[in-house]
Structure 1
Amino acid sequence: MARAPARPAGTVLIFSGTDDLAVLALAVLIDLTLGEPPMWAHPTVWMGRHIKFVERWVPKKGLLGLVGGLSIAMTMPTIWGGDAFLVAFWLQEIHSVVYIVVAAFLLKTTFSVRLLHREAALIRGHLDRGDMETVRGRMPSLVSRDPSSLTADQATAATVESVSENINDSFLAPWLFFAFFGLPGAFAFRMINTLDSMIGYRGVYEYVGKASAKLDDLVNLIPARLAGFLLVVASGFLPGQKISRAWSIMWRHHSRTQSPNAGWTMAGMAGALGVQLQKDDPELGYQLGEPDRDIEPKDITRTIQSMYLVGFFGLIIAFAVIYVRGSLV
């Protein structure tokens, strides 16, 4: 009997559909069962340290700040994506099983479902017990606003906002970048997103962070809109949510947020639940939704349910992209 030809080695394997299907499936399983690696071993933590080291040497104002910021936005994702490419190539040269296992652990560090669920569920539990001191203490893990004066309703709304917004950043977009571009794509995306979260805002980083913020907006244009659409679809399957209202509010209110991307899932969630999500800020404030009831802690659980169903739909899409990508190589 003739032996089957050996699978070709080299860069083509970085886009192997069969291997990457297994990598993504195993990475999701690792996330749901084991959660986050320790801080000292977490590549996203290393990215943050890399950013802090580099940005301290870059001018913060004027033209030099803009040029320096553009350099950071272009080179750092390239470095991390390039390193991921080399690691993936090396692992595949050893054995496909080695690649699948190690790449799955690496890919897992670029996204998180379990952590987002855990933080939101903890806040829901403390809200149910009326422990606002603990709620306010935990809020910085989800939101950037000052939690010191938040009421129970405001904390609930902020948690719903954070979970719905992070559906894209926390897992859907990394999965899609992995599906299209392999491990290098996932790591490049995570660096872009980390740059935006660390220096992509006004104030001291007004100039040096502008390119990073714009790049993050750009790479999330499609994933964020897909996330919003999937959230609307999910609302048709979940109790206490309405698909027609989710679609209507998402379409009409998504542009009310300063970010061109965050409003899609946040407005969709507000519509699905029939509540109002708002941020009181002279410059960054918004109101999403046309409420027919007051928000309640149970809405956090409903949002988590939406998150998981969107994740399920997103995985199906990512698996399909990987399969097609692999068949074309």
Structure 2
Amino acid sequence: MAEGARIAKYSCTKRHVWRDSWYFSRMAMPDLNLLVTLDVLLQEGSVVGAAKRLQLSASAMSRALARLREETGDPLLVRAGRGLVPTPRALELRDRVRQVVGEAEAVLRPAMKFDLATLERSFTIRSSEGFVETFGPALLARIAAEAPGVRLWFVPKPDKDSTPLREGTVDLETGTIGKAMGPEVRTQGLFRDRFVGIVRKGHPLSRGRVTPQRYAAGTHVLISRRGLEMGAVDAALQTLGLMRRGAVTVGGFAPAIALAGESDLIATVPEQHTRRLWHGLHRFALPMPVPAFTISLFWHPRMDADPAHRWLRKLMVDVCAVGRS
């Protein structure tokens, strides 16, 4: 074979190899736009709702769902009555897809110069009652001085589930670490706290030495947000062969303190966390050893590098450090 023919054959073969490699790589690459569609579908749980958010027709969204089912090999959303419910595979994918889409949006978002004086942004913070009353005024004062365009939205915290952080409906959360907290959630301690007893002024426990027997013999207002009335205080009493008697159970610290302030009931609450709530009432240290605990700040890792979020986290740490001193 002539030298020219050999070169031509080699070049042709090389072009075919390159073309075939490109073709198969294109065939193997998934349509990443489907991730956005899947994210919205899993958030909405509805073809119609997802279509409205993405400004598509319902038929186009149905076709997209069909493609997603083909790609994942799972029905993802199945009919249950009039609505759709996610399959176990969809529940497994939901948080991962939300994180991937959120990170992709952050990558593609234009970098902007961070200027606190002109920052216009709202942050949602989930916390138990007492935190806003105790630390909110100082936090808002700092924000007004540094970033007057920032607005806070405090929402109640009925449980320790980290789903709102993962889904992005909550920016920050305060509280103690619980079993329901996702392993990926970032944590930073704010302050150490302990349980104390709160009674009205003139209450029998406001005079003389408070012993475990005197404390247990009183009538208590119990606090339970999750239907459980036994906690660390009751465990400490049990080791002494004692038990406190509850006259009423409430769902938070604020109503417990309010009832104690207007009756002979005893409220047992976190000292620092609720300081503004029990101001003006009599406070006493518990007469038996109960473990102290840490109030922490929680956020999702996708917000780690966000400069405004990082600023607010530092501000909350600073305010809590000053507030507890």
> TM-score if structure 2 supplies the norm length?
0.28
Higher helix content, 1 or 2 = 1
Q: In terms of Rg, which structure is larger? A: 2
Higher RCO (Cα < 8 Å, 6 or more apart): 1
> TM-score if structure 1 supplies the norm length?
0.28
